[in-house]
Chain A
Amino acid sequence: MKIRYFAWVRERVGKTDEDIELPPDVTTVSDLMTWLAARGEEYAHAFENPKVIRAAIDRSHVRPEAAISGAREIAFFPPMTGG
């Protein structure tokens, strides 16, 4: 599964995207954030406050409880500040 990062989430993780093989017990966006946070110091820093992080599955906004099965691409980013 492809994971993409934007803005300060990208800066903290230290990469724009990566392909990850997920264990079967990671089934929601929230699970995925918890799982990523345990991957290392930079991930722990990026996901230290998962409440403020927004996610998109295949380019649509989703809530943390959204199921990730069948997703091709999941993106994580801070609240948006465009316009």
Chain B
Amino acid sequence: MATIRLQREDFDAAAEAAALTRGRSDIGAVVTFTGICRGSEDGDPIAALTLEHFAEMAETEITRHVEDAQQRWALLGVTVVHRYGRITPGENIVLVVTASSHRGEAFAAAEFLMDFLKTRAPFWKQVESAKSKTWVEATAGDDAAAARWEKPRG
């Protein structure tokens, strides 16, 4: 019921969403989130991002969080695709697709999964500009976004 892929190649968000719903009439909502490489970081133009990852652990961590999402919400399908390697501005980085009967579950689960991908999945972004290569620093905002899911719900 879940598709998880780590890949160097680009992905087609529309095709991934269509694959989740094909031949089914129980799904009433599909949320598709795509993270895209920006052309500037803190106002400075960038040439590319290079994503390093810890492959075996990334697969395990993402699977664990997808299972957690499936426990929290009544999901009818989940797809997570995370790219690694060199990615230039305008290119896709990450895809989360969630499907459910009603929109609330799909929206919440997509946001939950993205918050965890940002802070717990072992990926590291390096920014390549004309002058230098620098590692992106983790932000307190991303930590806060992930932490709100740790509070008891309801």
Contact = CB atoms under 8 A, between A and B. Distances in A.
Interface of A: 4, 6-8, 10, 56, 59-61, 75, 77-83
A83 B114 contact: yes
A77 B138 contact: no
Q: Is the interface of B mostly helix, strand, loop or mixed?
A: mixed
B40 to A, nearest CB: 17
A52 B47 CA distance: 27
19 contacts: A4-B54, A7-B126, A59-B54, A59-B60, A60-B57, A61-B120, A75-B57, A80-B118, A80-B120, A80-B123, A81-B118, A81-B136, A81-B138, A82-B58, A82-B118, A82-B124, A83-B118, A83-B123, A83-B142
Interface residues of B, number: 29
Nearest to B138: A79
Interface of B: 35, 51-54, 56-58, 60-61, 82, 93-94, 114, 117-126, 135-138, 142
Residue in A6, A59, A75, A82 whose Cβ sees the most chain B Cβ within 10 Å? A82
B120 A7 contact: no
Contacts of A60: 57, 60
Nearest to B121: A82
Contacts of B121: 80, 82-83
B114 A6 contact: no
B138 A82 contact: no
